[in-house]
Amino acid sequence: MPSPSSPSSSSPATAQPSAALLRQAVAHLAPVVPILTELGQLFAGAGHEIALVGGPVRDAFLGRTSPDLDFTTSAAPDQTQRLLAGWGDAHWDIGKEFGTIGARRGDVTVEVTTYRADAYDHQTRKPVVAFGDNLEDDLVRRDFTMNAMALRLPSLEFVDPYAGLADLARKVLRTPGSPEVSFADDPLRMMRAARFAAQLGAHLDPAVEQAMRERAKTLQIVSAERIRDEFSKLLLAPQPRAGLEILVETGLADQMLPELPALKLEVDEHHRHKDVYEHSLIVLEQAIALEGPADGPADSVPGPDLVLRLAALLHDIGKPATRKFEDGGGVSFHHHEVVGAKMAAKRLKALRYDKETVKAVARLVELHLRFHGYGEGQWTDSAVRRYITDAGPLLQRLHRLTRSDSTTRNRRKAERLSRTYDELEVRIVRLQEQEELGRVRPELDGNQISEVLGIKPGPLLGRAYKYLLSVRLDEGPIGEEAAKERLLQWWADQPESQTGSTQ
């Protein structure tokens, strides 16, 4: 690692926070101060140093509560484990190989890591663990200066050897040592920079940005799971656009989400189509604005909602592959929603997202244009029923995605689209109330169909079930007797009814 005297760029002189500012930060930690004091005294009594470090310290100065309590110590892992075993209700050593021991006491979970001086082989990202012997050397190996601040315990002495507090005040992302070496140690730190821009409204130090551009391709050695988790945190941040722009501008997106920079279609000289990349970022921002409060009911799509945000960002990724310049001077993207759904599923699978998330996002991308067939409200009740059932549990997200997809600067057109969708939503609510479409089923179940037709369970029974479901969607409730009549009429036209086959 570089020495403390070689930061990523010229840094402001290290200064202690004012007494008032430090008191405010400590006051924000008040709920956990008893834990901090107790752990500090426990380790000090055994002859070891311990300090609260990283995110909890940064967040205390921001007036925020950190969900994690991370500590660093001079104690070896075995020593830490013995101390925490006597302190906590439970403890675990799953990270012991890397010097980390976890413990829980009541509702509080802590992780304590031995001072580190890691090195990596820069090929497989497998760390070669080397334990350090002082706090300052431990702090220099951390990702950014604002995360390289600490509070020694139990004294609550503030330690900031790399001017992290000044950088936090300036909202600048700077590495404690050389950014080239820091990103070589762990390329995921480059994505973390984008995430902090989205979460904290921070900007990149020029040396950090340059190193990210030069080392973007090294992201390839990071596992898909780690990239996925960092990308999700970015998308769920208050200002994901800022982070996404950094991913694209530095070339990181080319490595983990190439479909996003591909949306920067070359605009032809006549400007016959809008900037799809810019449009997608606006749709994302508008979708976020339509999320409900975090503690709101399910039908409000409580935010932050990962599925909605992924769908908003990716809804048009099929456009580059389907763009066609028409003879009349226009531009078309026929079936880009179908192509885009397949592309979204493929990319999300590559990033190791779970099956439910992949399925939901792809379905929203596939359905995001369906509303535009509504015209001026000409859809029949049958078409509205199909819209509801095709969306299924994604209906409320689809409402928000569809509304967000209007980025026209033509005020009259925007107002007309909004009114039309208002009318569609009113029809949807009315039909749902009348027919409970969220639980729509054929009016005969599988057993009844089998009994009426005298057939056994199998593909034929499945076809009969689908037929009755289509009747239900097209005509609404018609009653069991009418359903039996329609089923028998359908059966009379099936070749199996003539051959006597029941399979």
28-33's contacts with Cβ under 8 Å and 24+ in sequence apart are 28/59, 28/60, 28/63, 28/64, 28/65, 29/56, 29/60, 32/69, 32/108
pTM exceeds 0.85, yes or no: no
Number of domain units in the chain: 4
What's the CA angle centered on 412, arms 411 and 418, to 5 degrees? 90
Confirm if 101 and 81 have CB atoms less than 8 A apart.
Answer: yes
User: Is position 309 within any domain?
Assistant: yes
Domain identity same for 127 and 76: yes
User: Is position 181 within any domain?
Assistant: no
Integer CA distances (angstroms), 109 to 84, 91, 116, 244, in order: 11, 9, 21, 32
Range of the domain at 195: 187-256
Domain identity same for 334 and 207: no
pLDDT attached to residue 416: 86
Confirm if 401 and 286 have CB atoms less than 8 A apart.
Answer: no
341 Cβ partners below 8 Å, 6+ apart?
318, 362, 363, 365, 366
pLDDT attached to residue 262: 94
CATH code of the domain in which 199 resides: 1.10.110
Q: What is the pLDDT of residues 477-495, one digit of tens each?
A: 889 999 999 999 999 888 8
pLDDT attached to residue 6: 41
Closest by CA to 337, choosing from 401, 244, 425, is 401
pLDDT tier at 269, thresholds 50, 70, 90: very low
User: Is position 179 within any domain?
Assistant: no
Domain identity same for 405 and 348: yes
pLDDT attached to residue 178: 94
Maximal CA-CA distance, the chain: 92
Q: What kind and span of H or E run contains 194?
A: helix 188-200
pLDDT attached to residue 15: 57
CATH code of the domain in which 85 resides: 3.30.460.10
Domain identity same for 164 and 191: no
361 Cβ partners below 8 Å, 6+ apart?
307, 310, 311, 314, 344, 345, 348, 353
Domain identity same for 114 and 159: yes
Q: What percentage of residues in the chain have a pLDDT greater than 70? A: 90
pLDDT attached to residue 230: 98
Q: What is the pLDDT of residues 184-243, one digit of tens each?
A: 989 999 999 999 999 999 999 999 999 999 999 999 999 999 999 999 999 999 999 999
User: Is position 263 within any domain?
Assistant: no
Q: What is the pLDDT of residues 307-323, one digit of tens each?
A: 999 999 999 999 988 88
Confirm if 346 and 317 have CB atoms less than 8 A apart.
Answer: no
Domain identity same for 333 and 425: yes
What is the three-state SS of 418-436? Answer: HHHHHHHHHHHHHHHHHHC
Answer whether residue 25 shows pLDDT above 50. yes
pLDDT attached to residue 127: 57
Range ranked top by mean pLDDT from 74-78, 325-329, 460-464: 74-78
User: Is position 467 within any domain?
Assistant: yes
User: Is position 177 within any domain?
Assistant: no
